[in-house]
A and B are shown apart, each in its own frame.
Chain A
Amino acid sequence: MRGRYEFHGKGRHLYRAVVKAHQLMPKGFIDVSAKEFLEHPERYGSEGSWIDREVES
């Protein structure tokens, strides 16, 4: 699955969202506030693990 997260919001929410995102693979291109992601992580990602693949910015 290809995808990426774009989080915006306050520092503490961003930190928690990034930690959470390590266990949840994005369902495509996700642009969401970190707070919203933390409230409903299942909406934006599914369980899995990150693989090492060449990505562009």
Chain B
Amino acid sequence: MALKVHGLTEKWNLKSVFGVTDTETVMLDFDNTPYKKVKYVALRTMRWFKLEGFLIFKSSKNNYHVVFNRKVSWKENVAVMAWVCLFTKHPKLTGWFILQCRKMASTLRVSPKRQKPSPRIVYRHGKQDKEIRNFLQFRRLIKNIMRGIRIKDARLRIT
């Protein structure tokens, strides 16, 4: 069952958005997709490409991010993302995929954005010891940076 996300929207009033960018981690951004479908597609993808495990984040209502565990080349990463786009026929995911191809790296948001809070972990499956661990380390680093900026910003407003 998916958790409701509560969080940093009230505290985060800066206009910048922070995310993690990588070429060797398979990441997917599902907008307007029910949780059960995201979980089903993630499981099918993990099994088909032997990606060892995955993590689902809820970024806002009906919006989810998926990160897989096995390290891949950028070429294989593109192949996996394209396979998911063909499998789901999801227009928003396909739009996101084209943008990642243009940038030649995948990015997922970590910070809050407008009224959306920071993405929260809602499901884990399989191994989490490689790219998922790295992703979570970068996520922690970004959250620490955000905390630092928030403190600095609050001090500036006081003085």
Given contacts A18-B149, A56-B95, A57-B108, 20 further A-B contacts (CB under 8 A): A14-B145, A15-B144, A15-B145, A18-B145, A19-B148, A21-B16, A22-B14, A22-B16, A50-B14, A50-B15, A50-B16, A52-B114, A54-B114, A55-B17, A57-B19, A57-B29, A57-B96, A57-B99, A57-B100, A57-B107
Q: Mark B96-132, 1 if CB is under 8 A from A, else 0.
A: 1001100101011100011000000000000000000
Bound complex: CA of A56 vs CA of B15, how far in Å? 14
Write 7 A-B pairs (CB below 8 A) sorted by A numbering. Answer: A22-B149, A29-B103, A52-B15, A54-B114, A56-B99, A57-B100, A57-B109
Bound complex: CA of A11 vs CA of B142, how far in Å? 9
Contact A15 B29 (CB under 8 A): no
Q: What is the number of residues of chain B that contact chain A, defined by CB distance less than 8 Å?
A: 25
Interface residues of A (CB under 8 A from B): 6, 11, 14-15, 18-19, 21-22, 29, 50-52, 54-57
Interface residues of B (CB under 8 A from A): 14-19, 21, 29, 95-96, 99-100, 103, 105, 107-109, 113-114, 141, 144-145, 148-149, 152
Shortest C-beta distance, B137 to chain A (Å), equals 10
Which chain B positions have C-beta within 8 A of A14? 141, 145
Q: In this complex, what residue of A is CB-closest to B16?
A: A50
B interface, over-half SS: mixed
Which chain B positions have C-beta within 8 A of A55? 17, 113
Those 9 A-B pairs whose CB atoms lie nearest each other, nearest first = A50-B15, A57-B107, A52-B15, A15-B145, A18-B145, A50-B16, A11-B141, A56-B99, A6-B21
Number of A-B contacts (CB under 8 A): 40
Bound complex: CA of A30 vs CA of B19, how far in Å? 14
Bound complex: CA of A55 vs CA of B144, how far in Å? 23
Shortest C-beta distance, B14 to chain A (Å), equals 7
Bound complex: CA of A21 vs CA of B15, how far in Å? 12
Bound complex: CA of A19 vs CA of B155, how far in Å? 14
Contact B148 A15 (CB under 8 A): yes
